[in-house]
Amino acid sequence: MNMWVTGANGFIGRHLVRVLADQGNRVHGIGHGAIGEAERRRIGLEHWLNGEIDAANLNALAERSELPSTIFHLAGGSSVGLSIEQPYEDFSRTVNSTVRLLEWMRRSASECRLIVASSAAVYGAHHSGKIPEHAELRPVSPYGHHKLMMEQLCKSYAACFAVESTVVRLFSVYGAFLRKQLLWDMCSRLQRGQRELVLGGTGDELRDWVHVNDVARLLSSFAARRQQEKFQAINGGCGEGTTVAEVADVVTKSWGGEAGVRFSGVVRPGDPFSLVADDRKVRALPFAWGVPLSQGIADYVRWFKEDAR
Amino acid sequence: MNMWVTGANGFIGRHLVRVLADQGNRVHGIGHGAIGEAERRRIGLEHWLNGEIDAANLNALAERSELPSTIFHLAGGSSVGLSIEQPYEDFSRTVNSTVRLLEWMRRSASECRLIVASSAAVYGAHHSGKIPEHAELRPVSPYGHHKLMMEQLCKSYAACFAVESTVVRLFSVYGAFLRKQLLWDMCSRLQRGQRELVLGGTGDELRDWVHVNDVARLLSSFAARRQQEKFQAINGGCGEGTTVAEVADVVTKSWGGEAGVRFSGVVRPGDPFSLVADDRKVRALPFAWGVPLSQGIADYVRWFKEDAR
């Protein structure tokens, strides 16, 4: 099948392209960032259009390849912090790219399926326990607000124009090539020789960690699924809450040698205490998560030591 | 006070500008559409910038006038039908104008208050009875979806950047200079000599009719009110449901002569059966609606016959 990935140059995008290509699909991408020829072939991309997601560029990509059967929409803001520093930029990346893509699909590829990477940030910080998809959506950051607006657009185009979409609300995705957040920060400090790591927060924060290989497999699986409703939202989380302290412990153990971790107790405003998926819907697809957290972290540490230049 | 009105060239905008100017404010406007000099003075606008709502134009307006104490944001899509024909255009008018305005305020006028005209369309078509502000928001049309996204942006900028806003969800606003919808269509047909009017729907549809003079007064009143929360949404409806058949009856009676009205029974998909405000919040401001429906319609018919060229 002919499949497109927006934001194919990003952390999840590159993993997804590899999975899709390995399944025998022809994969084309659009989004920001230069990808060299060798690199493009290595990750499995047939065409890469480095540019804004707009009608002109989407038409150009369609001419070079052909109309896609499925588009995976991964382009968009990817940092809560940046969304606070530059909310307009985050809005443009997330919301404007989505409306332009949907409008282009409405006019030029209305039979194409759309799989969208959203974020658990749409739920906000007021939930405890496992969060089902129908929970109240009360995001905290501009990042979360804009992801919610992106979902709203998908709903609107599904209901009014029959552009089918599946929105996957991803929880804490980690894995090789993620060059930010907890694992990256810890590994960077351990590599610099620090043996007393002080981390923000209390350490008790609960997150639902999912490995990027599983996430790529989950996203790719929607291409072949018939969906019941024109719009559906589904949690991309495994339903297991693990504290930051536990994760930090696995990181230091995987790294080897002696290292201690302390928590500053300083909680970032708006940072949810608990963000864990109710995973009934994703399990019922059916879908089984494959990578255990301890193994995923060990793999990350190995990647960091060997390949993360 | 120095006040700005976006979309000042629109139906509600022109009424609002007049009210604000009559209260002794200096009123400046920005939005699409040419306004001649004489007309500009007549409606009470000091400056009118005919253009897109973006940082460059907002800066230009600030140079010509001065920074506003309050901005009334009335620019945006104004037609459900057009939003279905051209959803991207409706999105741009409603959502993009709002994010650019909020971003400009965040950087250049963060002390300024923002009063936003939203729509009861954000509620959707599944409510019966009076709709309170905390009701579930499940819009049907792209128009309603985009208004909801506009509200979401206001919420985000209020919570994350302390840009204060009040969103007023307007119900069925009517009055002189409204050149579309039920009253305009009926008067146009009566003037062409039709005496058997066939209207869409069943005639039993309930709407909450509010006169544009009252709406302008309501909107203007927020400039002087302190608000408790950085973001608030409030119904701009009087809480009284009147059927389309009753309204049609008043129109034909006000017009004079003999005329009959029939309903086709064909309901537009997504058209809510009932759209009536729970008005407790607006009454508690306090605010009292002034123009009774029968008088408002009689005034409209008189305006149509005498001035609507």
| Per-residue confidence band for A271, with pLDDT thresholds at 50, 70 and 90 | confident
Predicted local distance difference test score (pLDDT) of residue A158? 97
Q: With 80 as the cut, is the pLDDT of residue A301 above it?
A: yes
CA distance B125 to B267: 12
Cα A124 to chain center, whole Å? 17
**Is residue B257 within 8 Å of B194, Cβ to Cβ?**
no
Chain A residues 152-191 with CB within 8 Å of chain B = 152-153, 155-157, 159-161
Task: Tell me if A99 and B91 make a contact (CB, 8 A cut-off).
Answer: yes
Task: Tell me if B160 and A153 make a contact (CB, 8 A cut-off).
Answer: no
Residue B87 in contact with partner chain A when CB distance is under 8 A: yes
Q: Give the chain B residue nearest A90 (alpha carbons).
A: B99
Task: Tell me if A139 and B149 make a contact (CB, 8 A cut-off).
Answer: no
> Who wins on pLDDT, A126 or A277?
A277
Mean confidence (pLDDT) of chain A: 96
Closest partner CB to B156 (pick from A99, A142, A159): A142
Residue A142 in contact with partner chain B when CB distance is under 8 A: yes
Predicted local distance difference test score (pLDDT) of residue A268? 85
- Chain B contact set for A155 (CB, 8 A): 145
Return the residue matching tokens 């005498």: B306
Residues of chain B where predicted confidence (pLDDT) is lower than 50? none
Please tell me whether residue B184 adopts helix, strand or coil conformation. helix
How many beta-carbon pairs below 8 A join chains A and B? 62
Three-class DSSP labels, B26-41: EEEEEECCCCCHHHHH
What number of other Cβ atoms are within 10 A of residue B127's Cβ? 19
What number of other Cβ atoms are within 10 A of residue B221's Cβ? 15
List the end-to-end C-alpha distance of chain A, in Å, as a whole number.
34
Q: With 90 as the cut, is the pLDDT of residue A281 above it?
A: yes
Q: Give the chain B residue nearest A139 (alpha carbons).
A: B156
Q: With 80 as the cut, is the pLDDT of residue A309 above it?
A: no
**Is residue B125 within 8 Å of B135, Cβ to Cβ?**
no
Tens digits of residue pLDDT in A40-56: 999 999 999 999 999 99
The CA distances from residue B101 to B30, B116, B154, in Å, are: 11, 11, 10
Task: Tell me if B159 and A140 make a contact (CB, 8 A cut-off).
Answer: yes
| Per-residue confidence band for A57, with pLDDT thresholds at 50, 70 and 90 | very high
All domains of chain B, ordered by start, with CATH? 2-172+211-236 (3.40.50.720), 174-208+239-275+288-308 (3.90.25.10)
- Chain A contact set for B124 (CB, 8 A): none
- Chain A contact set for B98 (CB, 8 A): none
Question: What is the length of chain A?
Answer: 309
- Chain B contact set for A88 (CB, 8 A): 99-100, 103
Q: Give the chain B residue nearest A98 (alpha carbons).
A: B88
ipTM confidence:
0.92
Residue A106 in contact with partner chain B when CB distance is under 8 A: yes
Structure tokens at B268: 């537009």
Closest partner CB to B88 (pick from A84, A103, A148): A103
Please tell me whether residue B57 adopts helix, strand or coil conformation. helix
b or e along B177-208 (b: 16 or more beta carbons within 10 Å of the residue's beta carbon)? ebeeebbbebbebbeeeeeebebbbebebbbb
- Chain A contact set for B139 (CB, 8 A): 156
Burial class of residue A138 in the structure, from the number of CB atoms within 10 Å of its CB (0-12 exposed, 13-18 middle, 19+ buried): middle
Task: Tell me if A99 and B84 make a contact (CB, 8 A cut-off).
Answer: no
- Chain B contact set for A91 (CB, 8 A): 99, 153
Residue A82 in contact with partner chain B when CB distance is under 8 A: no
Q: Give the chain B residue nearest A86 (alpha carbons).
A: B103
Predicted local distance difference test score (pLDDT) of residue B270? 79
Closest partner CB to B142 (pick from A84, A87, A160): A160
Task: Tell me if B145 and A139 make a contact (CB, 8 A cut-off).
Answer: no
Q: Give the chain A residue nearest B149 (alpha carbons).
A: A149
Please tell me whether residue A36 adopts helix, strand or coil conformation. coil
- Chain A contact set for B140 (CB, 8 A): 159-160
Could you tell me the sign of the dihedral formed by the alpha carbons of A221, A222, A224, A226, in that order?
Answer: positive
Tens digits of residue pLDDT in A65-82: 989 999 999 999 999 999
Task: Tell me if B103 and A88 make a contact (CB, 8 A cut-off).
Answer: yes
Predicted local distance difference test score (pLDDT) of residue A226? 86
Structure tokens at A200: 């923000």
CA distance A125 to chain B (A): 13
| Per-residue confidence band for A269, with pLDDT thresholds at 50, 70 and 90 | confident
Task: Tell me if B161 and A87 make a contact (CB, 8 A cut-off).
Answer: yes
Query: Which 8-state DSSP code applies to residue B180?
Result: S
CA distance B308 to B180: 12
CA distance A138 to chain B (A): 10
Name, in order, each residue with C-beta under 8 angstroms of A90's C-beta and a sequence gap of 6 or more. A77, A79, A82, A83, A142, A143, A146
CA distance B293 to A282: 52
